[in-house]
Structure 1
Amino acid sequence: MQEPLALRAMGSFHVGGKLVEISGRQVKEVVFTPGGTPAKFDPNGTYQTGQMYVQYFLPQKERGKVPLLLWHGGGMTGVNFETTPDGREGWLEFFLRKGWSVYNSDAVERGRSSWAMYPDVIPGEPLFLTTANPFERFRIGEPAGGFNPDPAKRKYLPGSQFPAEGYDNFVKQIVPRWTSTDQMIIDAYIAEVDKVCPCVIAFHSQAGQFGFKVAQARPDKVKALVAVEPAGIGDQAKADVLKDIPVLMLFGDYIEQDSRWPTIRKTATDFGDRIKAAGGSVDVVNLPSVGIKGNSHMMMMDKNNLEVAQLIDDWLARKGLAK
């Protein structure tokens, strides 16, 4: 049994956002509680939108020289890092126990950051993931027809480290996402960096472009980037801005047998090559090549998630970011 966690502080805050005016909407009468008295509801007026929720945990004994920011991927929230779907220790607790101050966030329009329903505020419409989508797209199971509503009939990739008993809990984490809120998200992350950093940013999947672009916007405040299977990159014309920020890129297993991931990985590593050509430091680790096998796209949830987290912690220590 592990020692109790000792914190000097914990809390939360919202950053970023803007006020938006809505007009021309119909005024309604609404009964807010069954049996209650009807109230006039006027949807016209000023709305707060684009804000982001951040929760932080500060250890009593701090080893990390700067805080660690955790940024989740598309259709997800910060719960990705809290606890694995089958109830094991997540990356948030791991890094906290290692002495890192950890800031975990729900990106704009996700989870506790809230969302705006009006297309006047956010153009386009939200996308939702089916229960089968992550199973087949995140390299958890067979990419075509591997999912089955019956857990006993699901076809996992051979040697998969994803906890099969936790999959149905995992899909309960899914939230709607937009393809039209990228700049709002970047603005909120910049606000977080301005409030919290200097820092290390560890980001996953969709947050690839957010991590790199925010670092390009605030290169003096970011001391290292940990790109966990980044599905997006930064501004290629400004790759040189990252030359003084060490970068670690991590990729899991089964990439070669997937239709999309070889291209996604190449896009990311090509961007890393641009950073290196400008004099930067980029370490690309394909986990199977260092003996860590069976990882899905959701490696922070896989059964060997702490082994991957230890690799990250060791890398940060080598970069002089841990006491």
Structure 2
Amino acid sequence: MQSFLKAAGWCALSAGAAAIDCSGINALSPKCNSTEAAYTRDFFYVGGEYVSSTVSGQSIFTGQMYVEKLTPVRGINQTYPLVFVSAGVPSGTVWLNTPDNRKGWASYFVEAGYQVYIVDITGNGRGGQYDVAAFHLRFGSTDNITQDGFTAPELAAHPYPQAGGHDKWPGAGVRGDPVFDAFQVSIVPLAANSTTQERTMRVAGCALLAIIGESVTFCHSGSCQYTVLMADECPDLLRASINLEPSCLPFQSLLGNPAGPDG
């Protein structure tokens, strides 16, 4: 048996060999298996337009949305495609594996036979070029905001008592914890101009639906304003919209709903 394994190129681990730590960033090791579902991947861009840059005076293409298409290896057996839209903190990668390397939302639906599309919103992540006058950036999240608002609200002074019962984030949920740091390092800048962001997402979102047909959208937090715009612009292409903790609810946010550069 040992000679067969060597001939086949396999390495046999002894019964007493130490277990491999594949949590968090350790999953990058070639010795670790992926937790994601088996799929084929395509990518493309939709929306956007040529504009004259205020910096160079030459034309650039801006306002486009990055899209990944994930097709189940076992085939599609569900009627409607699913479109996952993130708030940009992090980018669309938030729908893939989790910071502690557990299976993400996309994999669950791929395994169920859905065609899955994941987007990076315009001016964010892999969203392409942007003109600094139209898409000036701001930070996505500080370590304090992430900890108090997402990973360890039970440790902060909050106006709502339910925060004290939070226990769902893996690990300590504070800076220095490997799972927290794996999440925080994925944060990317956000566009500070909400008017331009919403205008381009309205166009790009419906351009995507026009290509793939009637679909179901998934949004979380700030991204739910974009699926609302899509429902307004091209309602016939939206079968349903699943809103997870949507920002378009009339409640005060962790930051107190501060007015941005556009009011």
TM norm structure 1 = 0.58
**Map of 1:160-175 to 2, 5 A cutoff?**
160-164=167-171, 165-175=178-188
Give yes or no for contact 2:51–2:61 (8 Å, CA) kept in 1: yes
Alignment partner of 1:213 out of 229, 233, 236: 229
Is 2:78 the counterpart of 1:64? yes
- Counterparts of 1:4 and 1:260, CA distance in 2: 32
Measured against aligned partners, the alpha-carbon deviations of 1:185-204 in whole angstroms (never above 9, x if no partner) come to 22211111111121110111
Q: 1:216 to 1:143 in 2, by over 3 A?
A: farther
Distance 1:98 1:114, change over 3 A: same
Change in CA separation of 1:84 and 1:4 when aligned onto 2, cut-off 3 Å: closer
Whether the 8 Å CA contact 1:110–1:176 is kept in 2: the answer is yes
The equivalences for 1:219-230 within 5 A come to 219-230=235-246
Q: Give the whole-Å Cα distance in 2 for the aligned partners of 1:220 and 1:79.
A: 28
* 2:231 match: secondary structure: helix
Q: Which residue of 1 aligns with 2:49?
A: 18
Aligned to 2:153: 141
- Distance, in Å, in 2 between the alignment partners of 1:94 and 1:79 is 15
Which of 102, 109, 117 is residue 123 of structure 2 equivalent to?
Answer: 109
Ranges of 4+ aligned residues in structure 1 off by more than 6 Å? 1-4
Q: List gaps (5 residues or longer) in structure 2.
A: 1-32, 172-177, 258-263
2:211 to 178, 195, 207: 195
2-side partners of 1:21 and 1:2: how far apart? 44
Q: Secondary structure at the match of 1:52?
A: strand
The 1:204–1:128 alpha-carbon spacing in structure 2 relative to 1, beyond 3 Å, is closer
Indicate how the Cα distance of structure 1 residues 226 and 18 shifts in structure 2: closer, same or farther if over 3 A, else same: same
Equivalent residue in structure 2 for 1:75, among 84, 89, 100: 89
Query: How many aligned positions are there?
Result: 209
Tell me the secondary structure at the aligned position of residue 111 of structure 1: coil
Contact 2:96–2:106, Cα closer than 8 Å, also in 1? yes
The answer to whether the 8 A contact 1:18-1:49 is kept is yes
Q: Which residue of 2 aligns with 1:285?
A: none
* CA displacement, residues 147-171 of structure 1 (integer Å, 9 cap, x when unaligned): xxxxxxxxx9545111125111111
Shift of 1:229: 0.7
Match of 2:68 among 55, 69, 73: 55
The answer to whether the 8 Å contact 2:123/2:130 transfers is: yes
State, as a whole percentage, how many aligned pairs show the same letter. Answer: 25
Which whole-Å deviations, capped at 9, do the CAs of 1:216-275 have from their partners, x for residues lacking one?
221211111100111026xxxxxxxxxxxxxxxxxxxxxxxx9637x99xxxxxxxxxxx
Task: Output the aligned Cα RMSD.
Answer: 2.9
Change (3 A) 1:19 1:4: closer
Task: Report the counterpart of residue 88 of structure 1 in structure 2.
Answer: 102
Amino acid at match of 2:52: E
Candidates 186, 202, 205, aligned match of 1:186: 202
Q: In the alignment, does 2:59 pair up with 1:46?
A: yes
Kept in 2, the 8 Å contact 1:137–1:143? The answer is: no
- After TM superposition, give the deviation of residue 61 of structure 1 in Å: 2.7
Q: How many Å apart are 1:207 and its aligned residue?
A: 1.2
| Residues 296-311 of structure 1: pairs in structure 2 closer than 5 A | none
1:261-317 deviation per Cα after TM superposition (whole angstroms, max 9, x unaligned): 7x99xxxxxxxxxxxxxxxxxxxxxxxxxxxxxxxxxxxxxxxxxxxxxxxxxxxxx
